[in-house]
Amino acid sequence: MNNLDLRPLSIGEILDRTFTLYRNYFALFIGISAIPHILVLALNLAQTFTLKPVIFPTVVAGRTPQPPFPLAGMSTTYSGFAFLGMLVGTIALLLTEGATVIAVSELYLGRSITIGESFRRVRGELATLFGILVLKYLAIVAGLIMLVVPGVYVMCRFFVGVPSAIVEHLNARLALERSWNLTRDHAGRAFLIILLYFALSMAAAALFAIPFEIGIFVEKSNPAMVLVFMGLMQVGAAIAGILVIPVVTIAGAILYYDLRVRKEAFDLQVMMAPLAGPVTAGLPTAIT
């Protein structure tokens, strides 16, 4: 964005501004999203082609013939890949989300930033972002155990936790408290953004991944083609995620600033403060 336009926004304006920012700085946001997730894709492909699908022959006379290759140690290998995948996937998610919020914050306030600078600045926030992820997950699961609606509501109230932590340098607990306060009476707008994200995710998956899943089903009797389609499915799923993840993160950062404008006159703070540094002066400790 070339100028400051901090004012209360409707949900339609938030989404319009999200896609405008995404389109104008497409290379920046795709780079931030793609670089960590390429590692995830590489790991998934390694798992796919290392742990080849086992196709058992038809049972004859009550006996199952020996599989084409031994299964000894397969469970350990699967467990190792699963743990490594979870670890790499979590780091990729935290890097992408944090770096995107940093980039949006700089662009939204009229400053420029690069992919490398975004990642450099988010490195020191990884522990906080991981804490937010864990606490948010536990709270959402607790809400879902009670009923589905409380879990979704908690997800919406914690929606701007990451921007709160990144912009205001808060720890995980304070960032979630901050998000809870900011989203009071505005959880519905966060819900619409989350709903849009899931709709875009399903559409992207249908376009880039599901055709290869169909190919796996059609060629299920051909192990070589199954492997090819599994690899293509992993690539398609990665492309879908890389394209969609920035949308929800950009929208969350814009919603965060919108809530501060509405509740704290953040636009006036920016007008009165120099643009050379982050605007954090005058933040209330709690909003009732």
Q: How confident is the model over 85-114, as pLDDT tens digits?
A: 888 889 999 999 999 999 998 987 778 899
> Does residue 22 register a pLDDT over 60?
yes
Tell me if 63 is assigned to some domain: no
pLDDT at 59: 45
Domains held by the chain: number: 1
Q: Per the domain annotation, does 96 fall within a domain?
A: yes
Residue 183 scores a pLDDT above 90: yes
Structural domain span for residue 83: 11-53+75-272
Give the chain's mean pLDDT.
83
* Burial profile 40-63: b = 16 or more Cβ within 10 angstroms, e = fewer: bbebbeebbeeeeeeeeeeeeeee
Mean pLDDT of 228-252: 93
Confirm whether 42 is domain-assigned: yes
Q: What is the mean pLDDT of residues 169-175?
A: 94
**Inside any domain, residue 6:** no
Domain-located, residue 206: yes
Q: What percent of the chain has pLDDT over 90?
A: 53
- For position 108, what pLDDT does the model report? 78
User: What pLDDT was estimated at residue 269?
Assistant: 60
Distances (CA, A) of 288 to 156, 185, 267: 18, 11, 20
- Residue 277 included in any domain: no
In a domain, 207, yes or no: yes
| Percent residues over pLDDT 70 in the chain | 80
Residues 23-30 have a mean pLDDT of 95
